[in-house]
Amino acid sequence: MSDPFKQADDTRKVLTAGEDAAGRLDAWLADALGGEYSRSRLKALIEQSAVLVNGTAVTEPKRKVHPGDAIEITLPEPEDPEPKGEDIPLEVLYEDNDLIVVVKPAGLVVHPAAGNWTGTLVNALIHHCGTSLSGIGGVRRPGIVHRLDKETSGVMVAAKNDAAHRHLSAQFADHGRSGPLERAYQAVVWGRPKQLRGTIDAALGRAGDRTKRAVKREESEDAREAITHYEVVERYGEKPDATCLASLVECELETGRTHQIRVHMAHIGHPLIGDPEYGAAFKTKANLLPERARAVVNSFHRQALHAFMLQFEHPTTGEVMRFEAHAPDDLETLLVALRAMN
C-alpha cells in the first residue's frame, strides 16, 4: 500500500487513500496508521461516527476503501487506563479474605474495554472491595478469573489476592476435568432437542468479526475444542408428535469458549429465545405462541441464558463451595408465561 498523506494533531488525523487502496475501512486504517491503534478500537470509533469518508460520517467498519478517498478520523481524549470504583449495586452471595461471589445482572459488562470504560462489574468490585482485589488479572481486570457475556446473568467469583487468583484461574483452565469445578446454566430455547439429554462436541472459531463465533471444522486454523452437556428439564406447548414450542435446558460446560452455549444450541437447531446474534432467524416463531407468551417473548431483548450454579474449591481451605442464583425477574416472567401454555 502506498503511503497515505497524514496530517495529525492530538485528536485528529487526515489520510488520503492511495492508488492501491482496498479492503475494509477498519482494516485499512489499522494498516495505514502503522499499528498505532488496534483494529477493534478503530472499529469502535467508526461505529461512534468518529470517521468521515469524503466528508460524510461512516458507521460501517466493513465499508470498502477506494483509491482517492479522503478519510478523517477524530480521536477521543486518552482514557484513564485504570478503572475507578463506582457505587453499582452488587448482590453478594459470599465473601471472605480470599474471594467474593456475586450475581451478575444481565446488561452489566464484566470488565472495562472499548465502548465500556465505566459502569462494569470491575468498577463495582473496586468500590465494594477497595484495594483488596487481586492485581494479577491486569489493570483493567483486577480479580477477574472468568467472565459472562454482557446480557447473560448469573453467579461469578472474583479473587481478592494473587494466590487465590492463581488457584481459581487454574480451576477454570482445567474446566473441572480433574477437580470439583462445575458451571451450570439455564437456557430457554426454541423447540426441543430430539435427545432429551446429550453432548454437543463441536469446535468453535471466529465468524467474521472479533466477537461472533461459529462451529468450525477441527482442522480449521482457529478451531478450538468446545463441549457442552445439556438436559431438557421443562417443555412448553408440547404437541402430540412430542415436539414442543420451547424448552428449558440445563447446560454444563466442559470447555469455556466465547458464546459456547449460544452457538452450540443454535448449531443443533434450537437457538436461545431472545438471542440477537444466533437466534434472529427464529424470531417469527413467537407468532405460534398464545397471546400472553407471545407478548413476553417479543419483549425479551436478550439471550435467555442464566448461569445459575457455580462450584469450585476454595483456594485456601480446600472446601468445595457451591452457589446457586435464582432466575432474575425477566427470565422468571418468561418462564411463567411459557409454563402457562401447558
Domain of residue 319, CATH code: 3.30.2350.10
* In a domain? residue 83: no
**Domain end point (choices 174, 192, 208):** 174
pLDDT of residue 231: 98
**Do both 123 and 224 map to the same domain?**
no
Catalytic residue check, 69:
no
**Do both 134 and 242 map to the same domain?**
no
pLDDT of residue 47: 86
**Do both 239 and 142 map to the same domain?**
no
Question: Model's pTM, two decimal places?
Answer: 0.76
Tally of domains within the chain: 3
Alpha-helical segments (H) within the chain: 25-32, 39-47, 121-129, 162-174, 260-267, 291-298, 329-339
**Do both 201 and 141 map to the same domain?**
no
**Do both 196 and 331 map to the same domain?**
yes
Range of the domain at 263: 183-339
**Do both 255 and 331 map to the same domain?**
yes
**Do both 207 and 327 map to the same domain?**
yes
* In a domain? residue 229: yes
* In a domain? residue 82: no
> What is the pLDDT confidence band of residue 64, given thresholds at 50, 70 and 90?
very high
Q: What is the pLDDT of residues 65-86, one digit of tens each?
A: 999 999 999 876 655 567 889 9
Q: Pick from 94, 95, 124: which is nearest to 107 by CA?
A: 124
pLDDT at 284 over 80: yes
Looking at per-residue confidence, does 92 or 5 come out higher?
A: 92
Alpha-helical segments (H) within 56-208: 121-129, 162-174
> What is the pLDDT confidence band of residue 204, given thresholds at 50, 70 and 90?
very high
* In a domain? residue 129: yes
**Do both 162 and 295 map to the same domain?**
no
* In a domain? residue 86: no
**Do both 22 and 148 map to the same domain?**
no
**Do both 272 and 333 map to the same domain?**
yes
pLDDT at 192 over 90: yes
pLDDT of residue 1: 43
Q: What is the pLDDT of residues 206-225, one digit of tens each?
A: 887 667 899 998 888 888 99
> What is the pLDDT confidence band of residue 139, given thresholds at 50, 70 and 90?
low
pLDDT of residue 180: 94
The torsion defined by the Cα of 176, 181, 187 and 189, in degrees rounded to 10, comes to: 10
**Domain end point (choices 148, 174, 200):** 174
Q: Please give the full DSSP string across 184-252, using - where no structure is assigned.
A: EEEEEEES--SSSEEEEE--EEE-SSSS-EEE--TTSTT-B--EEEEEEEEEES--TTS--SEEEEEEE
**Do both 61 and 33 map to the same domain?**
yes
pLDDT of residue 2: 46
Q: Which of 149, 222, 241, 330 is catalytic?
A: 149
Q: Pick from 165, 149, 166, 183: which is nearest to 100 by CA?
A: 165
pLDDT of residue 5: 47
**Domain end point (choices 74, 106, 130):** 74
**Do both 295 and 195 map to the same domain?**
yes
Instruction: Compute the average pLDDT of residues 183-198.
Output: 96
Rounded-to-integer distance, Cα 188 and Cα 235, Å: 10
pLDDT at 111 over 90: no
Number of residues in the chain: 342
